[in-house]
Structure formats: structure tokens, C-alpha cells
Structure 1
Amino acid sequence: MPQQPAAPPALDVIHRLVPSPAGRVHLVEQGSGPLVLLVHGFPESWYSWRHQLPVLAAAGYRAVAVDVRGYGRSSRPEGADAYRMRELVEDAAAVVRALGEESAVVVGHDWGSGIAAHSALLRPDVFRAAGLLSVPYAPPGGPRPSDLFAELGGGDAEFYVSYFQEPGRAEAEIEPDVRGWLAGFYAALSADTMPAPDAPDPHFVSRGGTLRDRFPGGRLPGWLGAGDLDVYAGEFERTGMTGALNRYRALDRDWEDLAGHAGAPVRQPSLFIGGALDASTVWMSDAVKAFPDTLPGLVSSHILDGCGHWVQQERPEDVNRLLTEWLAALPAAD
């Protein structure tokens, strides 16, 4: 069962805007000590780390959760090319510099997991360790992403990543009812509300339909109170969805940009936490099995039974314990 209250917690945090290559990054900070940079995924914000910020601060860390480029109060440049992985890595490095630090541990969930892993890969001078939640590290290389995701569909269905590719298409589904769409999306990937195994898979869109057609109806997941949903919906109602969706639209550019790093491992100390019921973890089980080669510095890997995709929100006590234990075992920052 979810381990958090239904109401948003009261956070004694500092909000900042710091310069980045795109203009600015909005971040939320709590505590002092070694820097731990927290990077969210889709469709979230800094707020997805609300349960980790106070715990990390109490454990003696400077916990900083960002709004990724395209989200919240961070800059939202136009065009999908501005959302390539290299750009997001440089945003992360810019936050470390702007906070007056030389290095950081980076922890990410969902797309943030990819940003964390590639930050460690591309900027080992800045990022001394990487924690990955939900999405395991898979080195650059392999087939062109758009070709791969097109194959995952079929005659009667389209994979959601392919559905997100055409500018304006997903926006037309989501933006007329952001709050309702988010509620359904969060529920579809949560352990206590996801569709039954024999129901249509919510990661696919029926031809001529919408992603929302396959979302479960009814109650919110236990980890998501009405106030939490208001926070998320309020941000996307203000910003629109294009900045968030552009990350998906930059995948082929990443494939080109990172070709020189094909097969490259992340060597820094690392951590993986996934949900046993999370499609991101289950579908990428081969990537988890490859960790001895792809994450040679892996300290520990954990699959949480009965947990869906939103691991740090569905199971905050478990994630907080695993994070703080891992952080405490890392070599001290130089």
C-alpha cells in the first residue's frame, strides 16, 4: 500500500531561479551538506520529491529538486532540439555551478533517471554518483528510437512514445482537461489503481483513439491526494504540455548526438530502485541484468514488491531508507 498521506506536506524549502544554458532553472532546496540533485520525470515537477527533500536534509545533505527544462518555472525554449539529452545534462551541471558547488550526487526518476545516468556519463567531472529510479540505465546505441517504438505498436495500436512524436497531437488530448488527464495517467501506472492484466494496456493508443481511452476511471491512487493533483495540474495548466512532451520528440537527435558513446558504461557508484509492477522496470529487465557491465560501480539494486511506476511517491519510506543508506556509503566528496 502507498506509504504517504493524502494531503501535501508542509515543506520548509527555499525556491530559487538560477541561470542555465536555456535561461533559468527553477529549483527547490532544503538542508546543507553534500549536494544531492533530484531530477523528476514525465509528467511531474520538483514536487515529486516532496517526501525526499526533508529526509535528505535531516540526514545532512543539501537536497535540491529541479523543474526540468520545459516544466514549471524553468525555461521552456521552443523546438524539440532544445530538449536533447546533452542540453539537459548541461542544465544539471549549470545548477551545480550556480549553487557554488564543485560536484554533486544526481538522482532521477523516469526521464530523470536517464538524465541522471547521462549526466554521470557525460560529466564525470561534476557528478560523482548516480541514483536511478524506475528506468534502468541502457547505454547509447542500438536501433533508431523512432523505428524501435514504431515496431512496438501493431495494426490496431500505437505505442505512447510514437503517439507523442507529432507536435500538437497529444496536447490536443491533454490540455482541454489537464487535471483529469493527469489523474488518469497517474492512476494507470500506480500499483493500487492500474488496469487489470487482461485489460487494454494504457501504454498504447488504439488507432483513431486517445491514450486516455485506456486509463482507469474512478478513484485516485492512494499516494496522490487531491491537493497533490492540484499542484501538478496547476503547473501544466499554466505552462501547457509541449515543453514536457518535447523530451520524447528529441529521442532521435539523442541517438545521433550520443553515437560516440555507444555501449559506454556509467562507472561512478550507482543505485537502482524499481517497482515490481512498473512496466519501465519489467520491460527493461534485460537492462537490469546487464548492470554488471553497464553500471560497474553499482552499489545496490532493489525491486520493490507491489510498487508501480511512481516509486518515490508510492513508497517514500522505502525509497528514503535506500537513498540515505546508499548516500552514507559513498566516498566523501573531494
Structure 2
Amino acid sequence: MPDTAVTHHTEHVNGIDLHWVESGPADGPLVILVHGFPESWYSWRHQIAALADAGYRTVAIDVRGYGGSSRPSAVEDYRMLRHVGDNVGLVHALGAETATIVGHDWGAPIAWTSAQLRPDVFTAVAGLSVPFSPSGRRRPTEAMAQAGGDNEDFYITYFQAPGVVEAEILPDVRRWLLGIYYSISGDGVLAAGRGPRGALGLVPRGDRLSDQFVHPVAMPEWLTEADVDFYAGEFAGSDFFGPLARYRNIDRDWEDLAAFSDVPITVPSLFVAGEYDGPAITGRRQIERFDTTLPGLTRSVVLPRCGHWVQQERPEETNQLLLEFLARR
């Protein structure tokens, strides 16, 4: 963690205890950072310092189900509308009226939807890795079931049945985390010889997702043993129910958000992804629609030879893009 002072907070927000890390001036413009799967506030460690030092009140949350935040016991408590409610409640708890919201991986759809539904609160939005994708006409699980064909499952389909992916994670959480972090990074994609379209996404029937993992011979520059230790510690005692419940709400989200399927995000926006970033590769059709779905888009950037963990693999470039975006506000 860079040498920038941070403070930890936990408050009751939207019916749960929400944990966040804060840095920067209390009277600075508010920026909320939302992590994805399987991460924590710590995935923003490089951005917290850069944004705080530039004068922004920077808040990185533990999404419900993660780290120091509450872990509700019902799957439906992890639906998208709950996450949007958490973010709105957090802005109020911080005594602010508006914020810029930034999300990565699952945090990106949470950020996109927060700005779509509450542009009065989230007056600018940046999404990393996962492009904005409004609710479509087809039930997501049906569409994803066809994506894998007869012999493979799309990874989100693979995550649907309780107990399946947990059986490969829980026996050795640290090793599984290292495997997924490295395997879908730019370094891992290149080490496996998969090429830009070969990031993990499909699981052969009867196999485990982790059967496709590659592990580093030596740790890459962007990920240290201490980083993996921190993440593993965040999941100590976790059964991964909350993190996986986010995937298990995709049909419920589709139903909840059907009335907003044709509502664009009009506030200023930024999209950043890696060249080898799986969600950006599979989401190319969504990216092609940005002129309609994100009319306030300022930039759409693909970082060469970068994988999925954009803000960790390429912190300096990501920080510069975020600071340029925020400066326009």
C-alpha cells in the first residue's frame, strides 16, 4: 500500500454494515471506488493514493458480502438494486450530495447502474473492464447457456449452481485466488499462450474452472506475495456465498431493471479495459453501442498487453486516465 494515510470506517448503511477505506481532504470532491470479484477495497490501493493526493475525497468500499461489510444470508440480498442502494446510502452517510463512481469487474455494472438510475447523485461514472450493457430482451441465464454450446459452460453459467465452484475454491482459497488473479492477467494470458481472445471464459463440461489456471513461476511486478496474502486474509472464514450470490442474481436483475432497458447513461463517463481483458472481448457488441448507451462518454481506452486487473496491472496509466476524467468535472 502506498504511503498515503487511510482511515477505516464501518457504518450502518441501507440496512447493512458497510466498511470502507477513506483518504484525501474531507471537503474534496467525492469519488467512490467499487471493487469486483474476488477482490476487496484493497484492489484500489494505487488509486486511493493518487486520487487523494490530487485533492479528491477518495472512498473505496468493501461490497456487501466482502471483507469488513455485512454478509446477508439470502441470495436476493445481493441483487443489483441492493448495491445501488448501498452506494446512495453511502453518499448520504458521508454527508455529500453527489459523487463520481468508479467500478471494476462486477463493480463496473454496479457503478454503471448507479449512474443510470440515480444521475442526480452519481454525476459521473467510470467503468473498468466490463462495458455498460443495458438489460436485453432475453433472460441472461438462457442467453449464457447457449454461449457455451453443447460441451462447455460460460463461466457465469458454471457459477450458478450452489456448491460447484465453492468445491474448488474452499479447500485452498489462497491458491485459487492466485490462480485466477494470474491466469486472467496479461502476464497469465501470455504465459499460457492463449492470445488476446483466449482469456478464461468457457469451462468444458465435467472440468473445473481452475483446471485452466496457470500459476506464476515468479510473481509478476503488479502482484506480490503480500498482496495475495492480504486478499486471502480478507476471505478467511468466508464461504464465498456473498461474492457468488452476485452472479446468482443475474435473472433477478434482468427482471428488476426491465423498465430501464432503454435508458442511457447521460452523465459523463469513461471506459477502460485491457487488450486481453475477457469481459471487454466478449462485450465488444456493447462497446460498439456506446454512442447510444453512453452518450456522455469522454473516452474508451484499451491498454495494450493488459489483462483483466486493469487498475492493478497498469496503475499509472489508470490513475492518469481517471485524473484526466475527474479534472473535466
Confirm or deny a common fold (TM above 0.5).
yes
1:19 aligned partner: 12
Q: Which 4+ runs in 1 deviate beyond 6 A? A: none
1:50 aligned partner: 45
Q: Give matches, 1:256-275, under 5 Å.
A: 256-275=255-274
Shift of residue 11 of structure 1?
4.3
Distance 1:230 1:217 in 2: 15
* Among candidates 193, 196, 206, match of residue 193 of structure 2: 196
SS in 1 for 2:187: coil
8 Å CA contact 1:175, 1:237 repeated in 2: no
Distance 2:39 2:207 in 1: 24
Residue type matched to 1:226 in 2?
E
Deviates more, 1:229-238 or 1:174-183: 229-238
**1:168 corresponds to 2:167:** no
Shift of residue 256 of structure 1?
0.4
Shift of residue 19 of structure 1?
1.6
Shift of residue 10 of structure 1?
4.2
Distance 2:247 2:234 in 1: 19
Q: Give matches, 1:224-243, under 5 Å.
A: 224-243=223-242
Shift of residue 257 of structure 1?
0.4
Distance 2:179 2:149 in 1: 24
1:153 aligned partner: 148
Residue type matched to 2:124 in 1?
A
Give me the TM-score of the superposition, normalised by structure 1.
0.93
Distance 1:221 1:143 in 2: 40
Residue type matched to 2:161 in 1?
E
SS in 1 for 2:255: helix
Distance 1:11 1:250 in 2: 36
1:218 aligned partner: 216
8 Å CA contact 2:135, 2:257 repeated in 1: yes
Residues 17-49 of structure 1, C-alpha deviation per residue, up to 9 Å, x if partnerless?
022224111000000201000000101000000
Identical positions, percent: 51
How many residues were matched structurally? 323
Distance 2:231 2:2 in 1: 14
Distance 1:78 1:170 in 2: 18
Distance 2:138 2:288 in 1: 20
Residues 70-103 of structure 1, C-alpha deviation per residue, up to 9 Å, x if partnerless?
1101111012111111110000111111111111
* Among candidates 117, 120, 123, match of residue 115 of structure 2: 120
Q: Give matches, 1:108-147, under 5 Å.
A: 108-147=103-142
2:73 aligned partner: 78
Shift of residue 205 of structure 1?
2.0
8 Å CA contact 1:192, 1:222 repeated in 2: no
Runs of at least 5 residues in structure 1 that lack an aligned partner in the other structure: 1-7
1:4 aligned partner: none
Distance 1:170 1:102 in 2: 40
Distance 1:109 1:175 in 2: 24
Shift of residue 242 of structure 1?
1.1
Deviates more, 1:210-219 or 1:242-251: 210-219
Residue type matched to 1:322 in 2?
L
Residues 126-183 of structure 1, C-alpha deviation per residue, up to 9 Å, x if partnerless?
1101011111101122311111111111332211101111112211110110000011
Distance 1:207 1:296 in 2: 40
Distance 1:206 1:200 in 2: 14
2:21 aligned partner: 28
Distance 1:293 1:171, change over 3 A: same
Runs of at least 5 residues in structure 2 that lack an aligned partner in the other structure: none
* Root-mean-square deviation (Å): 1.5
Give me the TM-score of the superposition, normalised by structure 2.
0.95
